[in-house]
Structure 1
């Protein structure tokens, strides 16, 4: 049974008001990292679809395009936690500046190779640094919220706000990338993505005052145990792979569907509808003061997502597919928001950027595998076969969450690791 925590009457005047976006956005200093952070994360939603559209144009194969995009996703998934750990240890700016420079350069190299009809192995080689250097701005923003709010009930609202922000980028990003690739030039999406990464990333890195401080003891930096050592984080990683399978499967399958009916420009509209559903439900989730346990909400979210995804493969018209896409999108936000909210209770502050990047990396990995699988299914079987990928991924995620949900319960933290030595820390109880 879910339990709720209430403040004593004498503390009501100092307790935060009911969770809401107005209270969240009045947090001192929040806008200094929110605005550049939004600009810096916009290219993330453009990368995969830009690669798919460019490579498909130059090779004529969704399978090849999906494979190149998958290499990018896998590289990001493998390197994102490493960059997150470095950001926790050395500071976000120290990691972000070289990262955005490397990503912009490698994205332009990949573009030139694709336009030059380079062999597939060359595209794979260029895709590795392109994915490995993707700036982890979303996790960095979430870590900054954690510092600002420090256990406040507004953390759930912050998680919802970040999910809404992510999904707003997934509304605008695919629309922009598709418009650029279809109306301007097949390479325009990837070139714009590289340019926005460079400008937005450097602006975000310049906001040094809001980045989490690096823990230092004496003249040595305090090293925390990896977030991956926490069982609950490992469960969430598998769960977020399922969410990535939805994103990747939808991107390729919607692109293939709109091309099959002779309306490729509808791709961005359909994917934007899917992302809009996510954004709408995210807004609602952030405005609700939840009384149920987050573990229960996570299970319900994945049940709803699996049921919604089960009908995609049978849709054969634009209105039906748009409606189902909207429903699937609306089911994603509760799962994402709850997963990110659970991190606060499961992971100590000094490892949260890494934890968030593990989850972001899991989404990218799931997306990369999904675009490959969906591309192969679309090339080899009937139109719409790629929509089986989101269904399979969400069912796997649901089974994992159901079987291991007890590991998502936060345990009291009696120790933290610094230079290999355990130290008792005081715990404040509201």
Structure 2
């Protein structure tokens, strides 16, 4: 028996030596691609993901009302009160309420699932919007309108974060496609904000001042119900381990998520500052109608960059890409206040739009890797809420500056917001390290434990 075992070991050793002799010792073994990791991830592979279309189309319909809410509210309140200041205040209250309440809604979704939270949420939102319409048409006092704007904003369904959570769950075994999914969602968001305001404006001006908000409420109910009906693609609820003894910590407790929230505040300042300052600039040059063209060019740049960014296979890590892209965004915002003609502002607006998508997409990609699966939706809502909060603050500050010193002063807001956020990101860059996925290479012995590198 001993001789047989010895002979067997010798035979195996000879085979191992024969195999080793065929592999050059000066170069490592080539890394073999796996079936779950496409070598060049792209939109074709992404859209071929099993079950993707079952939530993409309903998700697009369900997020459309979000792009209609602000402009519909502004046009209705302006019609009933005659004051842009009151209309802007109502819109700002709605945005702040959404930013503060969205993470709580996201945490409920992570805990109980999307459908149990979404269905009551769309009913509450539709009711709140109908109440706001009734108060506006009844010429209620300003304080009543502002009070009614709070629940209307607080109950906005967080469809975008829910769709991103479904992507994260569907691509759990194909992490290389997560960046492509983030790019696809960024493009979808921008496309939504191209269609939504146009539709809302047409309804408010061509049908009735309240038609935009009424359509927003109706689409919320229909689109949200269709999206909630897609149960198979919904991520599973991650229950806390038995005997844990404590509730799951908030996604914001992750230091990297807090750093990204600051970065997204800066991105929100670009959206808000550009909206107000471009509108004021158009008024100053005596051509208010060109505002839509200028903002459309800005949005087109964002969409184009999102499409291209998601189609590229990047060699640098997401942290390096985020810092470089954010620096580029701050630099692009710097000369905005110097623009004196519409063509120059349109061209620079295109550049700023091109610079927004890369940090936005990379930030969403990092979020997925910084938190556990049971806190994904909440983490995504913190990002969405940060953009909304930064936008609301920028609208307010830029409005005050443009009233006192003109549109050029308002264009300082995007620069200040991105510069401050960039300084914070550089200071906290050490926290933007992805959580290890716990993947162990089979058949490899004696290697050191994997570490997260950029």
Indicate whether the TM-score tops 0.5.
yes
Counterpart of 1:208 in structure 2 is 231
2:150 is aligned, of 109, 128, 132, to 128
Pick closer, same or farther for the CA change 1:390–1:110 going to 2, 3 Å.
farther
Report the CA distance between 1:342 and its aligned residue: 0.5
Counterpart of 2:371 in structure 1 is 347
Q: Is the 8 A contact 1:63 1:372 kept in 2?
A: no
Pick closer, same or farther for the CA change 1:271–1:182 going to 2, 3 Å.
farther
Q: Is the 8 A contact 1:170 1:272 kept in 2?
A: no
Pick closer, same or farther for the CA change 1:326–1:267 going to 2, 3 Å.
same
Residue pairs, 1:5-404, within 5 angstroms = 9-13=31-35, 15-152=37-174, 153-216=176-239, 224-261=248-285, 263-404=287-428
Pick closer, same or farther for the CA change 1:7–1:177 going to 2, 3 Å.
farther
Report the CA distance between 1:174 and its aligned residue: 2.5
CA displacement 1:238-284 (0-9 Å, x = unmatched): 11011111112222333334445555444333322211111100001
Report the CA distance between 1:191 and its aligned residue: 2.5
Point out where structure 2 has 5 or more consecutive residues left out of the alignment: 1-27, 442-454
Pick closer, same or farther for the CA change 1:188–1:395 going to 2, 3 Å.
farther
Q: How many angstroms apart in 2 are the aligned matches of 1:365 and 1:197?
A: 22
Q: Is the 8 A contact 2:371 2:435 kept in 1?
A: no
CA displacement 1:295-354 (0-9 Å, x = unmatched): 111112211211222233333433232222221111110010000000122111111111
Report the CA distance between 1:146 and its aligned residue: 0.7
Number of residue pairs aligned between Structure 1 and Structure 2: 412
CA displacement 1:3-61 (0-9 Å, x = unmatched): xxx99555445532411000000001000000000111112222223333333444444
Q: Is the 8 A contact 2:239 2:374 kept in 1?
A: no
Q: 3-state SS of the aligned residue for 1:41?
A: helix
CA displacement 1:135-158 (0-9 Å, x = unmatched): 111110010011111152011111
Residue pairs, 1:416-427, within 5 angstroms = 427=438
Greater CA drift, 111-120 or 396-405: 111-120
Structure with bigger gyration radius:
2
Report the CA distance between 1:383 and its aligned residue: 3.6
RMSD of aligned alpha carbons: 2.5
Pick closer, same or farther for the CA change 1:95–1:265 going to 2, 3 Å.
farther
Q: How many angstroms apart in 2 are the aligned matches of 1:49 and 1:269?
A: 16
Q: 3-state SS of the aligned residue for 2:237?
A: coil
TM-score, normalization by structure 2: 0.84
Pick closer, same or farther for the CA change 1:244–1:210 going to 2, 3 Å.
same
Q: Is the 8 A contact 1:172 1:272 kept in 2?
A: no
Greater CA drift, 262-271 or 99-108: 262-271
TM-score, normalization by structure 1: 0.89
Point out where structure 1 has 5 or more consecutive residues left out of the alignment: 1-5, 414-426
